[in-house]
Amino acid sequence: MSVVFNAATAANVSILRTTNELFQVSQKRVATGKSIFGAADDATKYTMSQTMLSRSRNIDAVNNNISTALKTLESTDIALKQIRSLLQQMNDMASDALNAGSIPTVAATPTANISETTAIVGGSAGHRLSITSDNGKNFTFQLTGTGITWGQVANALNSANIGVTMRFEVQGTANRLILESTDKTTGFSIDGSSSAQVVDDLTGMSSPYNGTFASSNFVNGTSVPTAVSGSPYGMKFGTGGRVVSQTNLTASSVAANSSITFTGSDGVARTWSTTTAKNLDVVAAEINAMGAGVRAEFSSNGGFRFNLRNLNGNAISVLNGTGGFDASTGFARFNTVAGVPLITGNPVLGTVNNQRRVELGQQYEAYKTEITNVIANNVVQAGRNLLQGQGVSVILNEFASNPISISGVNTTVTGNLGLTSLGGNWTTNGNIQTSLGEVQRAQTTVDSLQAQFGNYSSFIQDRYNLNREFSTNMKTLGDDLVAADIADESAKLTALQTQQQFAVQAFSAGSANAQSLLRLLG
């Protein structure tokens, strides 16, 4: 069924249709912020806008790749900082080891390769090892047969608590037996009553007083030491000064009215004297009983000699002597220059603290492993570890032209870092100084790597910032080309709403008039 409109109604319908179409366009522009939605709207502006927005997206993609490269460089720098910190701690360990070695300790360190399980070679039932500390305590270990190990001797000595201990340590590829004073300062003696068959295992042992090991300093087998003049004198260890009679003793006793004046461990002069002739062993016992901190003893320094040794690590001096100790005529004189009886024995060097050095050396080696782990576990882009010689190529622009190549450096502890010396060999100043020099050169190498990668990072960061700014500008320009004037479009919407209302009212009025006329015609 067709509907018939009069001319006014048809005009109102047309106006409403046009107004509605314009209203939808303005509403879309206000909602999207755009005035151009395709090439049909404005081919030139639309094409330019799409080109700019496309370049912005391409640059964002480039920057995404650059950002990953920057994180790779940042991660590598963090790893190098960690390595630098580890190297500094290794430097401190080497310095501490040198300082530890500068502190003398009272110890006997054979060069023989001896561990806890090493059996005493040549030792049999009845043979013995006797050790006496300068504090007066003695330890004697008597073998019950063959196959006794040095570890068994060490356990017995350490349990005896005489102020002397025995331990074992690894030095490089060798095992070492260390016999030392518990407090590092109190002297001790491996007594002459020890069997040479036991003590000769300690090859290379050296005393600051008696020199290197000699079997004549100890008894043979299970024999008992003879009289003083023929006794084996063992080996004595300490750091205190010692004075030795200048000539071989030709008698076993000193004459009546003999005396000797010497400084005690406190620096105060003391005099021993006798009005009757006395055997030398009695003289030694009486001097030791004076409590002067001085030990009178005998040694075989090219012959039978009488010694005075300071027990607290200081120097000792003989100030005067009469009778058997007279500088001119005494057979036990300490100075052979008439009228000049004074003679001084200065402190001697002890053994370096190799135990602490070895501990530090072990930590040093552990830190090498830690550096290797840091290098291997460097967090990197797509598996490209710059510290393992793997390079990274970074595209810097949207055209993929002239990418920058970052060459990795194969970094290893023994390679470019040059840490070749072993902490296990830190038993001499020379070995420690070698390690110290290597660590300091390694620190310089790490500093160079940080600077090298830092230059790349700075350059790439600048390009990243430039790209980001360019991308923002392209997007802004592209959006501006097709952007709508929101204020203008809002005003249009308001006008169209008013026009739409008037058209609706006119249409309603026209429809009402038509209906009235039809009713009249009835």
Model confidence at 477, in pLDDT bands (50, 70, 90)? low
In this structure, what token pair is assigned to residue 71?
């994180």
Which string of DSSP letters, residue by residue, matches 424-473? GGTTSHHHHHHHHHHHHHHHHHHHHHHHHHHHHHHHHHHHHHHHHHHHHH
Residue 374 has pLDDT above 50, yes or no: yes
Q: Phi/psi of residue 443, each to 5°?
A: -60, -40
What is the chain's mean pLDDT, rounded? 81
Residue at token pair 């518990």: 182
In this structure, what token pair is assigned to residue 49?
């806008």
Residue at token pair 């840490």: 419
Q: Tell me the sheet residues that pair with 307.
A: 244, 297
The pLDDT of 84-111, averaged and rounded, is 84
From the list 65, 57, 72, 55, the residue with the least C-alpha distance to 464 is 65
How many CB atoms are closer than 10 A to CB 237?
28
Q: CA 330, 299, 265, 190: dihedral to nearest 10 degrees?
A: -160
Which string of DSSP letters, residue by residue, matches 396-415? -STT--S-EEE---B--TTT
Residue 391 has pLDDT above 80, yes or no: no
In this structure, what token pair is assigned to residue 105?
């300790």
pLDDT in the model for residue 98? 83
Question: Under 8 Å CB-to-CB from 447, ≥6 apart: which residues?
Answer: 84
pLDDT tens, position by position, 317-331: 999 999 999 988 888
pLDDT in the model for residue 126? 94
pLDDT above 70 coverage of the chain, percent: 74
Cα distances from 415 to residues 110, 244, 389, 473, in angstroms, run 35, 55, 12, 48
pLDDT tens, position by position, 6-27: 565 666 566 666 666 566 665 6
The answer to whether the CB of 308 falls within 8 A of the CB of 298 is no
Going along 323-381, which residue ranges are E strands?
A: 343-345
Selected from 1.10.10.10, 2.60.120.380, 3.90.105.10, 1.20.1330.10, the CATH number assigned to the domain covering 59-100+353-477 reads 1.20.1330.10
pLDDT in the model for residue 185? 87
Domain ranges of the chain: 1-33+485-522, 59-100+353-477, 104-236, 239-348
Give all strands of the β-sheet with 304-310 in edge-to-edge order: 242-244, 304-310, 294-300
Distance of CA 250 to the CA centre of its chain: 60
In this structure, of 242-246, 385-389, 476-480, the range with the lowest mean pLDDT score is 476-480
Residue 157 has pLDDT above 90, yes or no: yes
Question: Under 8 Å CB-to-CB from 180, ≥6 apart: which residues?
Answer: 105, 106, 107, 108, 164, 165, 166, 167, 351
Cα distances from 481 to residues 41, 50, 165, 490, in angstroms, run 12, 10, 92, 19
From the list 312, 311, 330, the residue with the least C-alpha distance to 320 is 330
Model confidence at 492, in pLDDT bands (50, 70, 90)? low
In this structure, of 58-67, 171-180, 369-378, 492-501, the range with the lowest mean pLDDT score is 492-501
Long-range CB contact pairs, 148-152, < 8 A, 24+: 148/119, 148/120, 148/123, 149/116, 149/117, 149/118, 149/119, 149/120, 150/114, 150/115, 150/116, 150/118, 150/119, 150/120, 150/177, 150/201, 151/115, 151/116, 151/117, 151/118
In this structure, what token pair is assigned to residue 91?
């430097």
The pLDDT of 165-184, averaged and rounded, is 88
pLDDT in the model for residue 389? 81
Q: CA 80, 86, 87, 89: dihedral to nearest 10 degrees?
A: 150
pTM listed for this prediction: 0.56
Residue 250 has pLDDT above 70, yes or no: yes
Query: What SS3 state is found at 136?
Result: coil
pLDDT tens, position by position, 136-156: 999 999 999 999 999 999 999
